[in-house]
Structure 1
Amino acid sequence: MNEPIKICVLADQHSLYDSRIYWKEAVSLVKKGYQVHYICIGEDDDSGITDEGVHYILIKRKKYLKIRILNYFLKRVSFISSEYNEAVNYCKKINADVYHVHDARINRILNDLKSISPHAKFIYDVHEPFDKNLKDDRFKNSKIPKLITNYYADYIQKWEYKKASYYDYILTTDDGLYKRFQQNTPNVKIDIIYNFTNLEKEREYLSYEKKIYDAAYIGGISKIRGALIAIKAAKLIVEKIPNYKLLLLGKIYDLELEDEIISFIKTYHLENNIILKDFIPHQEVSKFYNQIKIGLNTLLNVKAHEEIIQIKLFEYMNFGIPIITSDFGYMKQYVEENNVGIAVKPNDENLLANTIIALLKDRNAFEVYAANGINAVNEKYNWNKMEQKLFYIYENLLNEK
């Protein structure tokens, strides 16, 4: 009996049940007949096999010192064990045929992985513009001079390109990332595996009247993603529509922002109008999508947001949810080309409030946007199309092997 082809997926900044890594790519590869091992560095320590047949190893991030930067350098000392050493040891046992790497940090063990399995193929899956995220978010309020943080971000980005040049294949989630890696790693095969939705079977086609939430934002909640603007707009809307309900569904990583949001809600007595829900499992998110009238994607105009396309746009379309998005980048392009919503200037709560009110009142436009979204997903923005592309890439790589 032939040994199954082994795929080792490695991630550092994502959870086990990540919507792209797990529910799309890993589950699809299992369905194709590959043996998939998912090594995930994060906050948990566990291993086993999921119901979908994915072998998983969760490695807890090691914290020797309380000060983050000191902890970072300590783990660079050769005799100090790190989570990456642990990942390499697991990879030795797996001895995979293909290593599918997510997150730039994993690149620090790329040479080790190649020495473990010299005949394996390596895929690098790029989700975000690393340098722009560092400048726009991570270091935005840093006490370190911007000259230094910008230099560091540029240096790290060049390091990522250099590492990416040693892969056999690069996958990106959208056109912007495709263009930047095509320019900076010209000798590596590259393609786009869009983060299209895989939730078509979860639609309930609820009527407008049966939907609970007038508007919602789904995803990680932060200032640069427009959370405060949506909340301030809600206060203005409630003055005209007292029963207006805004759902914010996602993790708030900034404790100061969380305090600010809760304080704002209490100050203006919006407890019945603004509903905060933390991260929920992928299997449960559809029940919320089915109950939303308008999907918000009013991200602030920062460099990183110009380059990427957010998965929530395809999810909104899938459930027939008209979209209000920011008027720049790929988000504007997708919304307007498919006529599934409205693009507005971000960071303006008055404009957002008026746009939401107008769309809630215009049932004709609402129904047109909703129908167009469902049709767009049925015809082109669905995971089935990307799944076939993923299989084709894997088959070609393995044939080369």
Structure 2
Amino acid sequence: MRNKKVCMVVAHHPFMDARIFSKEAKSLQKTGYHVTMIVPRINGNLFNIDGTPYKSQFRNKVFTHEGIKFITYNWETCKNHLNKVVNDESTWEKQGFKNPLTRLAIEEDADIYHTHEYLSLFAGVGIKRLMKKQKNKDVKLIYDSHELTPDPLDPRYSEERRHLLKQKLLTMLKETDYVITVSDSIKGWYLSQMPELPVEVIYNSPPLAKNYQPKTFHNNGIMIGYEGNFDDKKGCKEKIIDIAEICSKSLEFRFKVIGGSRFGNSFSIPAHLRNTIKLTGWVDYNTLPAHLKDVDIGWVDMDNLEHSLNRNYAMPNKFFSYLNNGIPVLANKSHDIEKFIQTHKCGVVIDKTNVSAEEYAAAIKNILKDKNQFKLMSENGRKAMENLYSWEKMEQRLFQVYDQL
């Protein structure tokens, strides 16, 4: 029955996260579910996608935005409780589940609880147990694993810490009714740990871009696009400047950054490249196709792959945004992206995990040598989205998961 009540339980993501709010919550609401989202404030604030705090909007504890009901809570009052996930399971109910996120979720009296992070999954386990204990109600629990957490290669944690987090995850998954994740390799990892676990892959795909016009690639100029945010920890900005520096010397070249630095950070472009590198700033999710219309090649550079299985397995939003708009992808070598590009012949993967600006620039020049192949990659990417991967296809997978519950 699609008139059931769904509660999205969120620990870290911004309340208008593209996957959680713009796609999953709205799709579920559209098909008849009653959707509530419980989302965190940090220092009293909700945040835009780029990290900008809202100071005048969304100040009420409970509000409705674009038809979705939001309930907010203060993260600071929850984090110590939720961190008890690493304690002995016998202490979970006394020390871990007595927090505002779990309490507010129980008060919603939903039928299905859809969690989105490791710590919100812990809250979800508490919700499921306490709903049975306090209300004698059996609820369903979904873990939407946007990432592989804990990352088996993450150098921030000791091997002992990673083992502990993994064991706690496996304990929680025993009480999880369905896992949703974002790539085939992450699904494979879960099944390697628990072969009977119900797992579905729902890619981070956008709705199919409307008014799509096939690209012609007749002119001699080239525009590279990068979609997304970056912070000061990533070397992305330096690489963008270096690629622009090299390519602009021999090509009619521009680099378009849709998104850019997060709140509190900046991107300083050298004066002589200010007409070459265009920064749009953060744009509304629904306007992405319009901003991507003039982009010829979409750039994906997955960093620190030697220290992250999660990044090696990732299929980021930007990857599907490019294909959605008929934009061939240029990427470094990571497992799932390489496999996808090889399967659908929709881009170029440089056969190295760490690719320099010089190597990217050489690849761009090489792509331009064969305009027919360039056009074919564009068409292949768009066809893959139309036939298999657009959000319209992914939401059918989402509905099937919910129908099985």
1:391 paired with 2:392, answer: no
Query: Cα RMSD (Å) of the superposition?
Result: 3.4
Query: Would the alpha carbon gap of residues 186 and 103 (structure 1) be closer, same or farther in structure 2, given more than 3 Å must change?
Result: same
Query: Paired residue for 1:244?
Result: 253
Pick aligned residue for 1:315 from 307, 317, 321 = 321
Give 5+ residue unaligned stretches, structure 2. Answer: 47-58, 133-137
Give the drift of 1:107. 2.9
Per the alignment, in what secondary structure is the counterpart of residue 8 of structure 1?
strand
Does structure 2 conserve the Cα–Cα contact (< 8 Å) formed by 1:60 and 1:83?
Answer: no
Per the alignment, in what secondary structure is the counterpart of residue 220 of structure 1?
strand
1:374 paired with 2:393, answer: no
Instruction: Give the counterpart letter for 1:183 in structure 2.
Output: S
Query: Would the alpha carbon gap of residues 250 and 105 (structure 1) be closer, same or farther in structure 2, given more than 3 Å must change?
Result: farther
Q: Give distance in 1, aligned partners of 2:180 and 2:114.
A: 10
Pick aligned residue for 1:340 from 340, 346, 352 = 346
Give the drift of 1:202. 5.5
Does structure 2 conserve the Cα–Cα contact (< 8 Å) formed by 1:38 and 1:56?
Answer: yes
Give the drift of 1:101. 0.6
Query: Paired residue for 2:297?
Result: 294
Per the alignment, in what secondary structure is the counterpart of residue 132 of structure 1?
coil
* TM-score of the two chains, using structure 2 as the length reference: 0.80
Query: Would the alpha carbon gap of residues 354 and 211 (structure 1) be closer, same or farther in structure 2, given more than 3 Å must change?
Result: closer
Query: Would the alpha carbon gap of residues 3 and 394 (structure 1) be closer, same or farther in structure 2, given more than 3 Å must change?
Result: closer
Give the drift of 1:296. 0.3
Give the drift of 1:375. 1.1
Give the drift of 1:92. 2.8
Query: Paired residue for 2:242?
Result: 232
Give the drift of 1:201. 2.0
Q: Give distance in 2, aligned partners of 1:175 and 1:131.
A: 17
Query: Paired residue for 2:115?
Result: 101
Per the alignment, in what secondary structure is the counterpart of residue 164 of structure 2?
helix
* TM-score of the two chains, using structure 1 as the length reference: 0.81
Instruction: Give the counterpart letter for 1:30 in structure 2.
Output: Q
Instruction: Give the counterpart letter for 1:393 in structure 2.
Output: V
Query: Paired residue for 1:214?
Result: 223
Query: Paired residue for 2:185?
Result: 176
**Structure 2 counterparts to residues 272-291 of structure 1, below 5 A:** 272-291=275-294
Per the alignment, in what secondary structure is the counterpart of residue 219 of structure 1?
strand
Query: Paired residue for 1:144?
Result: none
Does structure 2 conserve the Cα–Cα contact (< 8 Å) formed by 1:165 and 1:187?
Answer: no
Per the alignment, in what secondary structure is the counterpart of residue 226 of structure 2?
strand
Does structure 1 conserve the Cα–Cα contact (< 8 Å) formed by 2:11 and 2:120?
Answer: yes
Pick aligned residue for 2:206 from 197, 208, 232 = 197
CA deviations 1:187-239 (Å, max 9, x no partner) are 43222222233133263556547999700111232565744323311111122
**Structure 2 counterparts to residues 2-401 of structure 1, below 5 A:** 4-42=3-41, 43-44=45-46, 46=60, 47-51=62-66, 53-62=67-76, 85-118=99-132, 119-132=138-151, 135=154, 139=156, 149-201=158-210, 203-205=212-214, 208=217, 214-221=223-230, 226-241=236-251, 243-253=252-262, 258=265, 261-262=267-268, 265-266=269-270, 269-300=272-303, 301-302=305-306, 303=308, 304-344=310-350, 345=352, 346-397=354-405
Does structure 1 conserve the Cα–Cα contact (< 8 Å) formed by 2:208 and 2:386?
Answer: no
Does structure 1 conserve the Cα–Cα contact (< 8 Å) formed by 2:77 and 2:99?
Answer: no
CA deviations 1:249-269 (Å, max 9, x no partner) are 3353596xx56x52xx32x63
Does structure 2 conserve the Cα–Cα contact (< 8 Å) formed by 1:202 and 1:286?
Answer: no
Per the alignment, in what secondary structure is the counterpart of residue 37 of structure 1?
strand
Q: Give distance in 1, aligned partners of 2:219 and 2:145.
A: 39
Give the drift of 1:21. 1.3
Instruction: Give the counterpart letter for 1:289 in structure 2.
Output: L
Aligned length: 370
Range with greater deviation from structure 2 (220-229 or 366-375)? 220-229
Give 5+ residue unaligned stretches, structure 1. Answer: 140-147
